[in-house]
Amino acid sequence: MIAVIHAGAGAFAPDERHDDYREALTQALQRAREVLERNGSALDAAQAAVMFMEDEVDFFNAGRGATLCNDGTVELSAAVMRGSDRAAGAVAAVDRSRYPVQAARAVLDRSAHVLLIGAAADRYAAEAGVEQREPTYFITERQQRRLRDAEPVFDHDTVGAVCLDADGALAAATSTGGRRGQLPGRVGDSPLIGAGTWADDVVAISCTGEGEAFIRAGAARQIAALIHGGSQLDAAAEQVLDDVAALGGKGGLIALDRRGQVAMPVSTPAMPRGVWRSGEAPTVWI
């Protein structure tokens, strides 16, 4: 059993509290570990880790405290994918579902669709029992300041998790508020299956970074295709990040294969991340 998480490719602002950040990453890994240790599925474990990070206000660009659009509004997106049958669910540009990843899971579990957007996605999630809040609930002073001051930090903090469960099944989950100052209505790679999120029976992937380039590279699916074609995990992940770079994009990703190999390449100064393997203590890096 393995859980791998990331909290976005970017750079750290000088005021960020590294110890608290590490603790938050460890807690997120713990959530996935608890699910896996009681024989829960990789999908439940990845969702649990991401839900923890969506709820954390100070650090992560997901759920409450996510980055803001150029008009000061918030638009949240998330996706989940189960490797065993490639079932997938996603939501984009929602602003009421407290846990966007749970809304994505509702789309996977209950609908015949893969991606729902906007107010209709929130309504669907509400009917499925996902807690709803006012859009202002998600908007924090910290993100308003960052938008107002155009702080020269390369925002990271989009979150993702990939997990391998006791049955050898893989899953991936990603959640984000997108890019700081994005146009309202803009959708990045995170909720797009095959771009920012992918899982099949061989590999699970969650990407982060300049989403437009990841979309144009078909990044996550391209990694899977390379692995199916015989590439090593590390080499495939690096090759696709190179392709993203060739399109002018920076970022990173986490990838986990069914043999338990992990790749976490990144082309920005930082990408907070962590790994837990059964029988070992969680390890985190920022």
> Rule CB under 6 A: which residues touch ligand ASP?
8, 61, 155-156, 158, 176, 178-179, 188-190, 196, 208-209, 211
Catalytic residue among 158, 174, 176, 197: 158
Least spacing, CB of residue 153 vs ligand ASP, in Å: 11
Q: CB-wise, 188 or 272, nearer to ligand ASP?
A: 188
Show contacts of 15-19: CB within 8 Å, 24+ apart: 16/59, 17/58, 18/286
Q: CB-wise, 8 or 65, nearer to ligand ASP?
A: 8
Q: CB-wise, 8 or 63, nearer to ligand ASP?
A: 8
Active-site annotation holds for 158: yes
Least spacing, CB of residue 147 vs ligand ASP, in Å: 15
Say which residues have a Cβ less than 8 Å from residue 272's Cβ, sequence separation at least 6.
6, 7, 8, 21, 25, 156, 157, 284, 285, 286
Least spacing, CB of residue 255 vs ligand ASP, in Å: 15
Least spacing, CB of residue 191 vs ligand ASP, in Å: 9
CA–CA separation, 131 vs 139, rounded Å? 17
Q: CB-wise, 183 or 246, nearer to ligand ASP?
A: 183
- The pair of three-digit structure tokens given for residue 82, joined into one six-digit string: 């189960």
Question: Counting Cβ atoms within 10 Å, is residue 55 exposed (0-12), middle (13-18) or buried (19+)?
Answer: middle
Task: Kindly list the catalytic residues.
Answer: 158
